[in-house]
């Protein structure tokens, strides 16, 4: 894979999809439908999915492209694939909270090597460079030449005063019980894959998820986290988290900065 070209294409498509999403987000009203699993979907999800899927297939015709809104059509598997969540945090979008993201990642041999996470309503853009280093781009976020890029580095955690980030729309008692095993100084809530980015920037030390997710929900954020020196592990045994699983379905996980003393749930 040509990582220079890959990052350029992923960044541009994420920004273009963000424009589509914001057109609908800023409209007076938009329809919300229910998918077969009862999760919500909007015209913004569908438009962004079509734009990114088409763009990736044109740019990388020999690479499998897996997208959330076309998930039912994915019957093949591959050692290397692109995986897309065109609008992660649809519930945040519907409630007009702004904490939704566009997510594109490239996975090879079970590892998300490169990824982009774009929060258009917050004007925050995180991605991995061709080198693998993660950055947050500042400024106008034009679709041509990138602007100023701040390298991302995870925190050096204090295990007596950890900063925890957890889901805004999917918190439950099991998650709260697990967080209670740690000595924390504070806890933040955030929507979508922004939680990974908060660990990647050092704004949080740990993000546990005890709930159902799909690989397109996590791959891009995981790539950004890894490129900032962070780790993502399986909840049950703290082994490395892998991608390309049957049905692209995730188990529980913990995303964290190295140095956090992980607890058994």
Task: Provide the CATH number for the domain around residue 7.
Answer: 3.30.540.10
Tell me, yes or no, whether 265 lies in a domain: no
Which of these three, 91, 123, 151, is where a domain ends? 151
Q: Same domain, yes or no, for 19 and 93?
A: yes
CA distance 47 to 207: 30
Q: Same domain, yes or no, for 167 and 147?
A: no
CA dihedral over 184, 190, 196, 200, signed as positive or negative: negative
What is the per-residue pLDDT for 72?
61
Q: Same domain, yes or no, for 141 and 24?
A: yes
Structure tokens at 79: 């050692």
Tell me, yes or no, whether 262 lies in a domain: no
Which of these three, 96, 119, 151, is where a domain ends? 151
Q: Same domain, yes or no, for 15 and 131?
A: yes
Q: Which helix (H) or strand (E) holds 231?
A: strand 231-234
CA distance 191 to 194: 6
Task: For 140, list phi and psi in degrees, rounded to 5.
Answer: -75, -15
pLDDT band at 261 (very low <50, low <70, confident <90, very high): very high
Instruction: Give the range of the structural domain holding residue 191, as residue numbers without chain letter.
Output: 162-256
Q: Same domain, yes or no, for 118 and 191?
A: no
Q: Same domain, yes or no, for 172 and 145?
A: no
pTM: 0.94
- Of 91, 48, 80, whose CA–CA distance to 67 is shortest? 48
Tell me, yes or no, whether 157 lies in a domain: no
Which of these three, 105, 122, 151, is where a domain ends? 151
Q: Same domain, yes or no, for 179 and 123?
A: no
pLDDT band at 180 (very low <50, low <70, confident <90, very high): very high
What DSSP line would sit under 58-86, residue for residue?
HH-TTSEEEEGGGGGG-----SEEEEEEE
pLDDT band at 73 (very low <50, low <70, confident <90, very high): low
pLDDT band at 43 (very low <50, low <70, confident <90, very high): confident
Give percent of the chain above pLDDT 70: 92
Tell me, yes or no, whether 263 lies in a domain: no
Tell me, yes or no, whether 181 lies in a domain: yes
CA distance 6 to 27: 32
Q: Same domain, yes or no, for 95 and 176?
A: no
Residue 39, pLDDT above cutoff 90: no
What is the per-residue pLDDT for 26?
87
Q: Same domain, yes or no, for 78 and 173?
A: no
Q: Same domain, yes or no, for 25 and 120?
A: yes
Q: How many domains does the chain have?
A: 2
User: Which residues, other chains included, contact 54 with Cβ-Cβ below 8 Å and sequence gap of 6+?
Assistant: none
Q: Same domain, yes or no, for 40 and 126?
A: yes
What is the per-residue pLDDT for 27?
84
CA distance 234 to 250: 9
CATH number at residue 244: 3.40.190.80
Tell me, yes or no, whether 115 lies in a domain: yes
């Amino acid at each position: 894979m040509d990582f220079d070209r890959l990052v350029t294409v992923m960044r541009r498509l994420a920004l273009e999809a963000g424009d589509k999403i914001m057109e609908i987000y800023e409209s007076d009203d938009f329809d919300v439908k229910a998918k077969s699993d009862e999760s919500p979907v909007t015209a913004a999800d569908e438009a962004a999915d079509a734009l990114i899927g088409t763009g990736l297939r044109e740019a990388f015709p020999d690479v499998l492209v897996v997208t959330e809104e076309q998930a039912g059509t994915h019957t093949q598997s591959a050692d290397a694939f692109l995986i897309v969540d065109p609008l992660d945090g649809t519930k945040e979008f519907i409630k007009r909270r702004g904490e939704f993201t566009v997510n594109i990642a490239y996975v090879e041999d079970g590892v998300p090597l490169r990824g982009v996470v774009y929060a258009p309503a917050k004007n925050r853009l995180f991605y991995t460079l061709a080198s693998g280093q993660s950055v947050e781009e500042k400024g106008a976020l034009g679709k041509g030449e990138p602007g100023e890029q701040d390298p991302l580095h995870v925190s050096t955690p204090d295990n007596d005063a950890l900063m925890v980030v957890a889901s805004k729309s999917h918190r439950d008692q099991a998650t709260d019980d697990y967080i209670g095993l740690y000595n924390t100084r504070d806890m933040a809530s955030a929507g979508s894959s922004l939680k990974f980015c908060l660990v990647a920037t050092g704004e949080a030390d740990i993000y546990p998820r005890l709930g159902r997710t799909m690989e397109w929900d996590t791959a891009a954020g995981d790539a950004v986290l890894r490129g900032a020196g962070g780790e993502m592990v399986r909840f049950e045994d703290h082994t490395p988290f892998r991608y390309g699983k049957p049905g692209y379905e995730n188990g529980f996980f913990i995303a964290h900065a190295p140095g956090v003393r992980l607890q058994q749930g």
